Amino acid sequence: MKTLLTILIAFIFLSCSSTENNENTSLNLPFDVKKNQGFWYYLDDDFSNRLYLTLEKLDDINYSVNAVFLDENEGYYLGILESNSSKFILSDVNSNDNIKATLSFDEQEKPRLDVVLKDGNESKSFKLSKIKLNTLFFAKSMLQENLNIGLNFTVSMVDDAFLIPEFIDLNESVRSKINGIIAFGAKNPQELQEKLIKLQKDKLAQQKDFSFYVELINSSMPYYIDDELINFKLFTYDYAGHVFGTNALYSKIFSLKDGEMISSKTKDLFKNVNDEKLLVLVNRKLDKKIASLTKKRDLIPLPNEFFIRKDGIELLWQGKEVGFDIPGYVEVLNLNFHEIKKFVKEDSRLSYLFK
C-alpha cells in the first residue's frame, strides 16, 4: 500500500527537486499570484488519461509543481518551474524516476503539458479538460512561532485550501455555496490566504496544551471531478510531543448542480452496510496480511467514509476499524462501480455513476 502520509506531506513540503533549462523560453503564466498562492488544472490527453497539475509561487522566479497522474502512468511527481523557462523536471516522490516536462499556454491562456516518459521512449501531451470545473485557485499559509511560557517551544502550522474562480461557468449560488465551505467565503487567492492566516492565529491563541513542539497540518486536494460533482480529499496531521503524530483523511463531495454537500458516508450510499454478500465481497478483496492480523471475527465491517474514483469508489479504514490501534494507520480498497452496483441505493445522488 502506498504511504498516503508521505504523499500528502510531500504535497505540502517540497524539499528538493531538479530543474532543466535547455532553452531560455519565458513562460507567461495566466494568473498574477503572490507567494504561496497558485492555481490548479485538470488536464487530460487524447486517450482520457487524467492529470492534476498544481503550481504554487515560491518567489519572484520559482514555482513548485505538483503533478498527479491518475490513470495509465499513475503517480505523484514534484518539480520546480522557473518563470523564465518552460522546461523542468518532475520527480516521483516514491522512486527515483524523473520525467522531462514542458509547460506552455496558448493564446487563450489554456495550459498544455508535454512529458517524456519511460527513459525518453514515450511522449504524451496533456491539455485543459473540457469539463466545466477545470481550473481552481490555491492558497497556503505557513506559520511558525517560537514561544516561551515558562518553557521554550515551537508551534508549526500549515494550512491550504482551494477556491472556484469567478470565470468558471457555474451558477453563482453554486459557486458561493461551495466556496463558503472550502474557501471560507473567499473570492480570490489573496483573500483566501488572509483567511488562512487568521485561522492559524486564532488556533494559536486558543492553544492551551503545549509540549516542546507542536505541528498541525490541514491540507486538501481535488480527488475526483466530473460535470456533476467534485470530491475533495482532506488530510489532517497533529503532533503534540507524543511518540506518534496522528493523521486522518476525510472525504467531502459537492454537487456542481446546486452546491449542496453529498454524503460521503457508506451508510448513505449502500442499501445495507451489513449486507453479508457485500461484506464478503469487500473482505475477499482486503489485503490478506491485514485480514490475518485482525482479531478473529466473521467479517470486517465497512468503513465510515469513501472517495470517488474514475472507475469506482475507494473505501478507507482508519486503523481501529480493521483492528490496528496505530495512530494514523489507514487501509485503502478500490471497488469498481459494476461490482457493487446492486448494493447501491437507487435514490442516491451518486447513482448515475453506477449506470
Question: Of how many residues is the chain composed?
Answer: 355
- Whether 118 and 175 share a structural domain: no
Domain boundary among 128, 152, 180: 128
* Low-confidence residues in the chain, pLDDT < 70: 1-26, 118, 147-152, 207-212, 241-243, 287-298, 319-330
Residue 324, pLDDT score: 59
Collapsing DSSP states into helix, strand and coil, what is residue 351? Answer: helix
CA distance 18 to 36: 19
Domain boundary among 262, 283, 318: 262
Residue 154, pLDDT score: 81
Type of residue at 115: V
Q: Which domain holds residue 186?
A: 138-262
In a domain, 93, yes or no: yes
CA distance 115 to 18: 15
- Whether 79 and 116 share a structural domain: yes
- Whether 123 and 169 share a structural domain: no
Q: Domains in the chain: how many in total?
A: 3
CA distance 100 to 112: 14
Residue 9 in contact with residue 218, Cβ under 8 Å? no
Residue 296, pLDDT score: 54
Burial 52-74 (b: 16+ CB within 10 A, else e): bbbbbbeeeebbbbbbbbbeebe
Residue 130, pLDDT score: 95
In a domain, 289, yes or no: yes
Chain centroid to Cα 28, Å, comes to 26
**CA distance between the termini of the chain:** 29
Residue 69 in contact with residue 51, Cβ under 8 Å? yes
Chain centroid to Cα 350, Å, comes to 20
In a domain, 249, yes or no: yes
Residue 3, pLDDT score: 46
**DSSP secondary structure string for all residues of 242-294:** SSS-EEEEEEEEEETTT--EE--BHHHHBS-TT-HHHHHHHHHHS-HHHHHHS
- Whether 233 and 302 share a structural domain: no
Domain boundary among 94, 128, 162: 128
Residue with cell 448542480: 257
In a domain, 14, yes or no: no
Type of residue at 100: K
- Whether 196 and 110 share a structural domain: no
- Whether 150 and 220 share a structural domain: yes
Residue 350 in contact with residue 264, Cβ under 8 Å? no
Collapsing DSSP states into helix, strand and coil, what is residue 10? Answer: helix
In a domain, 90, yes or no: yes
pTM of the model: 0.86
- Whether 282 and 309 share a structural domain: yes
- Whether 142 and 258 share a structural domain: yes
For residue 224, the domain's CATH number is: 3.30.565.40
Q: What is the CA radius of gyration of the chain?
A: 21
- Whether 47 and 113 share a structural domain: yes
In a domain, 318, yes or no: yes
Angle at the Cα of 223 from the Cα atoms of 222 and 224, rounded to 5 degrees: 105
In a domain, 8, yes or no: no
Strands of the sheet containing 330-336, edge to edge, are 305-308, 312-318, 330-336
- Whether 249 and 270 share a structural domain: no
Closest CA to 83 of 108, 115, 58: 58
Residue 168 in contact with residue 149, Cβ under 8 Å? no
In a domain, 61, yes or no: yes
Residue 283 in contact with residue 199, Cβ under 8 Å? no
For residue 310, the domain's CATH number is: 3.90.640
Is residue 307 classed exposed, middle or buried when 0-12, 13-18 and 19+ CB atoms within 10 A define those classes? buried
Chain centroid to Cα 137, Å, comes to 14
- Whether 280 and 345 share a structural domain: yes
Residue 248's CB: how many other CB atoms inside 10 A?
A: 14
Closest CA to 63 of 157, 162, 138: 138
- Whether 170 and 243 share a structural domain: yes
